[in-house]
């Protein structure tokens, strides 16, 4: 891998008709120095050809086989941006080809698949990354450093309330598969999972936890057709516990959106308080405001993210990005530095497998009623 030249990127699941590959990954890659899109796959030959035309690639760079994409000499990094149930089958040939691979989160459809992929990556010596980009958001990194530097003193407790946006009374047809718990893309794994990963990075992991989950809307409606659909994914998740740091944590995520609070994360300590708020419980989108107060200050004040947390070489391009692609760009910037310098800032498959195990602890706690 030549660090002076851009890394050749192949995206598995890049469509001209929308999807996370085109909305999140491609604009982020274009905003960060050091990457070049060179190939893609889509679900059918026709959609692959359309995507190639839409994104300025020759038809020869488009296909439907992830293994063939990974085998190309001009590809250094393969990005897997498809629905969760297909992650394992598409990641396996990339690992066997020995190419660096970035998978969307969740890594697998359940912890068994995640463990299998992490083990194969370790055995193959392949460099991996997983899309838990909330921890790459400048505001989350700044929050972590404020806590580490003693802004709140000793952390006593943390409280988090969030709304998933999805998993409410109405679902879009293209995301209806998330209503089925068996598909692995649920309120627990996606918005809650992303935010929980950021919380454990900022504070610490859980020493012990209890949980209550429920599906309060067993039937939901498809927006485009009005048809009803059974929902088996949990739409209420409540977790309490003690962190490894000793702080007490209370988290509650609910499906749909609230007329009140859609994201509120408080960190309370002996010397001060930090509060993160936003209109979406998807912290990985990065659209939040940080405020804080300490010592004799009575009122919370805005805490703008310092410039040194922003991209040094892509501020203008990042400023033009709207929505979640900006946070993804920061993750790609960190990954480029990892690959160049041999560091491990971006979480890998081993980290993803460990995070799957934490979600399993929550599920067991809710199913058994026993602390985990």
Q: Do 96 and 214 have their domain in common?
A: no
- Count CA atoms within 13 Å of residue 243 on its CB side: 22
Integer angstrom CA distances of residue 110 from 210, 215, 368:
20, 19, 19
Q: Which two tokens stand for residue 314?
A: 């892509």
Predicted local confidence at residue 319, as pLDDT = 56
pTM: 0.95
For residues 121 and 128, the answer to whether their CB atoms sit within 8 Å is yes
Average of per-residue pLDDT across 33-37: 94
Predicted local confidence at residue 2, as pLDDT = 41
Tell me the average pLDDT of the chain: 94
Rounded Cα distance between 206 and 27, Å, is 35
Predicted local confidence at residue 19, as pLDDT = 86
Residue 323 has pLDDT above 80, yes or no: no
| 368 is a domain residue | no
Domain of residue 276, residue span = 138-285+288-307
The CATH number of the domain where 222 resides is what?
3.30.360.10
Q: Do 126 and 152 have their domain in common?
A: no
For residues 363 and 163, the answer to whether their CB atoms sit within 8 Å is no
Residue 56 has pLDDT above 70, yes or no: yes
Domain count, the chain: 2
| 372 is a domain residue | no
| 355 is a domain residue | no
Q: CA nearest 48: which of 77, 87, 57?
A: 57
Find the angle CA(286)-CA(341)-CA(28) to the nearest 5 degrees: 30
DSSP type of residue 130: E
Q: Do 88 and 157 have their domain in common?
A: no
Residue 314 has pLDDT above 60, yes or no: no
Residue 24 has pLDDT above 60, yes or no: yes
Q: Do 26 and 49 have their domain in common?
A: yes
Average of per-residue pLDDT across 351-358: 98
Predicted local confidence at residue 1, as pLDDT = 43
Question: In this structure, how many other beta carbons lie within 10 angstroms of the beta carbon of residue 218?
Answer: 10
| 118 is a domain residue | yes
The CATH number of the domain where 82 resides is what?
3.40.50.720
What does the pLDDT look like over 269-298, one tens digit per residue? 999 999 999 999 999 998 899 999 999 999
What does the pLDDT look like over 177-203, one tens digit per residue? 999 999 999 999 999 999 999 999 999
For residues 9 and 76, the answer to whether their CB atoms sit within 8 Å is yes
What does the pLDDT look like over 219-235, one tens digit per residue? 999 999 999 999 999 99
């Amino acid at each position: 891998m030549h660090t002076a030249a851009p890394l050749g990127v192949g995206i598995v699941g890049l469509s001209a008709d929308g999807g996370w590959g085109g909305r999140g990954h491609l604009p982020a890659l274009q905003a960060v120095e050091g990457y070049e899109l060179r190939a893609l796959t889509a679900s059918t030959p026709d959609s692959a050809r359309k995507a190639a035309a839409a994104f300025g690639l020759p038809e020869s760079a488009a296909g439907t086989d992830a293994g063939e994409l990974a085998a190309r000499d001009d590809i250094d990094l393969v990005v897997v941006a498809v629905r969760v149930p297909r992650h394992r089958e598409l990641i396996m040939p990339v690992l066997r080809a020995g190419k660096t691979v970035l998978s969307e989160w969740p890594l697998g459809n359940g912890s068994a698949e995640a463990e299998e992929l992490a083990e194969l990556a370790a055995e193959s010596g392949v460099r991996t990354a997983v899309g838990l980009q909330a921890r790459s958001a400048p505001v989350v990194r700044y929050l972590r450093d404020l806590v580490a530097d003693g802004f709140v003193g000793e952390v006593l407790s943390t409280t988090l309330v969030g709304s998933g946006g999805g998993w409410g009374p109405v679902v879009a047809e293209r995301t209806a598969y998330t209503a089925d718990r068996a598909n692995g893309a649920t309120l627990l794994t996606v918005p809650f999972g992303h935010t929980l990963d950021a919380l454990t990075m900022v504070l610490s992991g859980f020493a012990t936890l209890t949980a209550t989950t429920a599906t309060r809307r067993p039937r939901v409606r498809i927006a485009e057709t009005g048809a009803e659909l059974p929902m088996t994914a949990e739409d209420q998740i409540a977790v309490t516990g003690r962190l490894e740091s000793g702080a007490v944590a209370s988290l509650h995520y609910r499906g749909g959106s609230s007329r009140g609070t859609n994201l509120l994360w408080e960190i309370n300590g002996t010397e001060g308080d930090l509060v993160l708020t936003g209109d979406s419980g998807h912290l990985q989108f990065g659209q939040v405001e940080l405020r804080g107060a300490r010592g004799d200050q009575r009122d919370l004040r805005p805490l703008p993210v310092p410039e040194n947390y922003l991209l040094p070489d892509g501020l203008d391009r990042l400023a033009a990005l709207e929505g979640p692609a900006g946070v993804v760009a920061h993750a790609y910037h960190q990954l480029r530095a990892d690959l160049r310098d041999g560091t491990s800032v971006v979480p890998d498959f081993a980290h993803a497998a460990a995070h799957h195990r934490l979600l399993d602890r929550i599920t067991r706690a809710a199913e058994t009623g026993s602390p985990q």
